[in-house]
Amino acid sequence: MLRRAAERYGDRPLVKIAGGEWRHRDAVDIVARRAGALRAAGIERGDRVALMCSNRVELLEVFLACGWLGAVAVPINTASMRPQIEYYLANSGAKLFVLEKQFLQRLPPAAPLLWVIGESYPAPAEPVAAAALQPGDTLAILYTSGTTGPAKGVSCPHAQYYWWGLNTAAILGVRSDDVLCTTLPLFHINALNTFAQAALIGCSAVFEPQFSASRFWATVNERRATVIYLLGAMVPILLAQKENPLERSHRVRIGLGPGVPATALETFHGRTGITLLEGYGSTETNFVIATAADSARRGVMGWIRPGFHARVVDEQDMELPPGEAGELVLRADEPFAFATGYFGMPEKTVEAWRNLWFHSGDRVVREADGAFRFIDRIKDAIRRRGENVSSYEVEQVLLGHPDVAGAAVYPVRSELAEDEVMAALVATPGRRIDCAALASFCESRLPKFAVPRYIDVLPELPRTENGKVQKYKLRERGVSGATWDRLRSA
């Protein structure tokens, strides 16, 4: 991709990001030299390189250099705390950890070789030749929150990354004169995919440090952005801001907005003139379902894209008729357009890809016109601020507090039409749960987005005859007058 872009697009701008700006022709030499530095540090084909860095040029440089060398990049969410980082390093078997200086205090005691950005990040070395890679070779391991266990590392091959870029560019109609602007983090596939779009189509991508509702439209105007990328709750947050003339003075012609409520999509279009396309994709799959700018219907995920297949099935994987809710399962025509499995977890891989279809864990309905409409999650996962929250991981932290004898974590809906994290707890006999103190306990052990907002202290948790917690009863119970709310008590 990089060599093709250099030959075709030459001096056109490719990337603007904190710490650097690249033209298309620059990328090959920059990445080959960073790959040389990796090799000099002892990194070989197949070795894993963990990365924990904000949207900076070093993250992009190392990620692409791993691909050039045939090593495997392991981006880590910058909200991760020491227990999660320790697990990711151990699970991936990372040989090198590239860490931004601001995160050093979270470093676990047993860590691999370190490159500290801002302190001991090596200079570029002599360039090395690109490895002779195959489409199915692993480019990256991207961690996605587990539902009934620890987070799973999704093994993403080179071909999957290529198809992510090509499919998304086709859905958005990306052109060579576009400026793609994202505030999303580069440890997720969405922003990584933005780079792939730019490299494949010959346009430029701007990566902002973070999302700021108050600065969003000023940034979009300053960057002269033509394509923007938003997730669920970001749109209601922007709409909550006071109307601003900059919302209309931009050059944006299209945007991506999966998971945005239909009413918010309409209001956003009315205020800004921008159509946000809806869609569905996951780290394990690709951009498989999408709407178009001229779609007659809103409030649906969209229609299946060329090159992919989707079914709605029952618990026995039998296809259900239109209008009946079931699990979304997916397939791709092209080899390695999907992930190859969960790293080091063969049983979980077989479970998710059983019967040669990827099981999404999402409950959807296929309408009579072929559109897919999202209902809810079958899996016990929570989606907040564009992040997947593992209820299991949150429960383990809560159960680590001496006052907590039982814990169940589950989603409840918020005013932003996304999930809020709620916990139902049972106190240890003879002890009392102080909700504010417990939230502080969680803040040093969990990413900020995973800390429960709501806490209910109950005499016992509802269980089945075999002892399994009936979370659906807790979800139905929801937030009550007796529920502790972290935002209101702050």
Q: Break the chain into its structural domains and give their ranges.
A: 20-133, 278-377, 381-489
Between 76 and 390, name the one with better pLDDT.
76
In this prediction, residues 420-437 reach a mean pLDDT of 93
Residues 407-417: tens digit of each pLDDT: 899 999 877 76
Residue 468 has a pLDDT of 64
Residue 65 has a pLDDT of 98
Banded model confidence at residue 467, pLDDT cuts 50, 70, 90: low
Between 82 and 390, name the one with better pLDDT.
82
Instruction: Report the C-alpha gap between 188 and 63 in whole angstroms.
Output: 12
Q: Which CATH architecture has domain 20-133?
A: 3-Layer(aba) Sandwich (3.40)
Is the per-residue pLDDT at 33 higher than 50?
A: yes
Q: Which fold has domain 381-489?
A: GMP Synthetase; Chain A, domain 3 (3.30.300)
Angle at 308 between CA 313 and CA 256, to 5 degrees: 100
Residue 153 has a pLDDT of 96
In this prediction, residues 21-35 reach a mean pLDDT of 97
Q: Which two tokens stand for residue 408?
A: 């169940």
Mean pLDDT across the chain = 92
Angle at 167 between CA 165 and CA 249, to 5 degrees: 80
Q: Which CATH architecture has domain 278-377?
A: Roll (2.30)
Angle at 366 between CA 363 and CA 368, to 5 degrees: 155
Torsion of CA 364, 370, 371, 376, to 10 degrees: 0
Burial class (CB in 10 A: 0-12, 13-18, 19+), 30: buried
Is the per-residue pLDDT at 358 higher than 60?
A: yes
Residues 299-357: tens digit of each pLDDT: 899 999 999 999 999 999 999 999 998 999 999 999 999 999 999 999 999 999 999 99
Residue 465 has a pLDDT of 47
Q: Is the pTM of this model over 0.85?
A: no
The full DSSP string for 289-355 is: EE--TT-S--SS-BEEPTTEEEEEE-TT-PBPPTT--EEEEEEESSTTSS--EETT-HHHHHHHTGG
Q: Interhelix angle for 2-9 vs 24-40, to 10°?
A: 150
Banded model confidence at residue 269, pLDDT cuts 50, 70, 90: very high
Angle at 193 between CA 187 and CA 199, to 5 degrees: 125
Between 477 and 131, name the one with better pLDDT.
131
Banded model confidence at residue 260, pLDDT cuts 50, 70, 90: confident
The full DSSP string for 122-173 is: PPP-S--PPP---TTSEEEEEEE--SSSS-EEEEEEHHHHHHHHHHHHHHHT
Instruction: Report the C-alpha gap between 482 and 459 in whole angstroms.
Output: 13
In this prediction, residues 216-245 reach a mean pLDDT of 91
Instruction: Report the C-alpha gap between 246 and 375 in whole angstroms.
Output: 35
